[in-house]
Chain A
Amino acid sequence: MKDIRKPLFGIGGALLALAAVGTLTVGATLSLFSASESSSASDFATGTVAVGLGDSPSVTCNVTELSPGDSSVGASSGSQSLSTCTYEVNYTGSLPAWLSVDVDINSTGTNLFTASSTGLQFAVKAGQTSIIDGVNYKNLSGANTPITSGTTVDHILLNSTPVQGPNSRTFTIDYVLPLLASNALQGGSTSIELTFNAVQSANQPIGSCVVGRQCNTITWS
């Protein structure tokens, strides 16, 4: 009897094990041996990745009648008499995240920004991290790269280790119109727009990205 029952008990155990592993697929074909039991309810909540403005008020610049030599108080040259543009932004997500900023310089008509030393210069910073210096950003390898007006410089990395919210960042934009700005720039205009990005850091190694440089090896959206 032992010898006969052993194999039969072993086969039945294997079937039960399969039923337990693949409830839908196997259970449907073995309905005669099915059983069900309700377990206690489980709650699942996703983490969040969210950004917004910080508590400090922004200073939005609408600078008109810029003349050669005019500059903001934080600029390294010029009159240093005009307001610095500032934003405070906040990463409020619960998930560890990478942060970055996109910079879009644009113009309609005559462009004050000429991507040269005689056009409008910007100093965009996130805290002490330089994002734009004059007319250049740093690419992935750290090389100064002139900005092309109308083409967004995306994903300048802001942190080397993942951050969780709340985590605020202050962006400042200083500017100077050099003394050697040419007469052709008279009446020209330029705009600059920043986009603050956050993306979960889980499953996304930082790789060769460095703070203050463009980082496109991370998937940002």
Chain B
Amino acid sequence: MKPWRLLLNLGLFAGLASSTITVTETSSLFAANATLSTQSFTGATFTPKVAPVVTPTLTARTIELTWSPVTSARAVNYLVTRTGPNGNPAEVCTGQSAPTLVHGLIRCTDTSALPGVSYTYSEQPFLNIVGSLPWSRPPSSPSTQITAPRLSYVGTGPDVSSTGAPISVPYPTDVQHGDLLLFIAICGTNKAPATPAGWTTLVSRGIGGSSNAYLYIAWQVANGSAEPAFDPRSNGSGASARIINYGKFQAALADPVVATTSPASGSTRATTTFTPSPDVVTTQTEAVVISIVALSSANSPTVTTARGFTQRISANLYPGAGTLALGVADALVLTAGSTSSSPTWSQSGTAKAWLYATIAFH
């Protein structure tokens, strides 16, 4: 090869080599990107995170349950369970008794508890979404233990009075078939009133002298009969009567019966305080023991040492001639054969002799 051709070829090769390097240096890619704002998603929660404890409260026929509400994105429902001695939880507060929000609290009613059985309650909040695996919180800690009485005080009818003519005595409101009804009459003289038709006399006690008075108690199982007539048979002397109601905890329970072989009754001298004696001995389980006192003066009989009794009535009565007073208290006695210690009563004003009765029902 001639020298100039060699040089020419080298020059061209050098030029090509130079071009190759240049392309490599400029071959990085043009690119860009933009990161878009983050989208976030958070699952529902419950507030508070710990299910509130249930507070059970006894009423005459049911156990009312209350607890603080739990909130979430959706409506919160509650699974309420009752645990008895067998340790197996049973669902309560269903259907008509389902929990509802009332005055800032969730409330429901256990309508199937048995009297005389100790229970605890628990609730579990959950989201009731059809077709879902319900989101929930763990059940609340158990409530305090509660035992429903077989019979419990529901209320009293109005006091009616007469100075001679028979009058009818209204029933209390909320009487249901099978309830225990007590007819209590106090007369301002030592004379027994007539026994109302259909009622069974339980106590008929009077006292003469300065504390001249009469205490009459009859009972019946509520059966829908007409209001009884009260004939004081004591013209000129004021007499008062009323009917009090002890409701059966469950309608299906057997009708009430007297639960002591020896109701205690009598009278005692005028003293400011008084503890009825003897105490009654119950013959049935889940008995309600009722202590009744009467005075021939408006001296407001009051339980001062309860011994498990709850005072229901402390009434001063003004029957048109003279004044009278009535006191009623009761206590639950679970075990048959127990001796119930009577409460101590006191009266205000000038002391009058006590007329009293202590009875028990199952």
Give residues in A with beta carbon < 8 Å to B. 10-11, 14-15, 17-18, 21-22, 25-26, 46-53, 58, 60-69, 85, 87, 89, 93, 95, 102, 110, 112, 120, 171, 173, 175, 177, 179-183, 185-200, 203-204, 219-221
Contact = CB atoms under 8 A, between A and B. Distances in A.
Contact of A49 (B11, B30, B136): B30
Interface in B92-116: none
Interface string B22-46: 0000010111111111111111111
A187 B36 CA distance: 25
B109 to A, nearest CB: 28
Contacts of A188: 42-43
Contacts of A93: 30, 32
- Closest 3 A/B residue pairs (Cβ): A65-B73, A18-B11, A14-B4
A21 B32 contact: no
Contacts of B38: 60, 191-193
Nearest to B18: A22
B87 interface: no
Contacts of B31: 49, 197-200, 220-221
Nearest to A94: B30
A51 B32 contact: yes
A110 B135 CA distance: 15
Given A26-B11, A69-B129, A185 B40 contact: no
Contact of A67 (B30, B36, B127): B127
Contacts of B252: none
A18 B12 CA distance: 7
B7 A68 contact: no
A194 B37 CA distance: 8
A95 B127 CA distance: 55
A152 to B, nearest CB: 11
A89 B39 CA distance: 16
B34 A52 contact: yes
Contacts of A53: 34, 36
Interface residue SS majority, chain A: mixed
Nearest to B16: A21
Given A26-B14, A66-B44, A68-B133, 13 more contacts: A14-B7, A15-B7, A49-B30, A60-B37, A65-B43, A66-B41, A67-B43, A93-B30, A188-B42, A190-B40, A193-B35, A203-B27, A220-B31
Interface range on chain B (Cβ under 8 Å from partner): 35 or more
13 contacts: A10-B4, A21-B15, A60-B37, A62-B40, A64-B73, A65-B44, A66-B44, A67-B44, A69-B129, A85-B39, A179-B131, A179-B133, A193-B38
Given A175-B41, A197-B31, A21 B36 contact: no
Contact of A58 (B33, B36, B133, B134): B36
A171 to B, nearest CB: 7
Nearest to A219: B29
B88 interface: no
A26 B8 CA distance: 11
A183 B36 contact: no
B42 A63 contact: yes
A112 B43 CA distance: 7
B132 interface: yes
B11 A171 contact: no
A187 B41 contact: no
A53 B131 CA distance: 41
A112 B12 contact: no
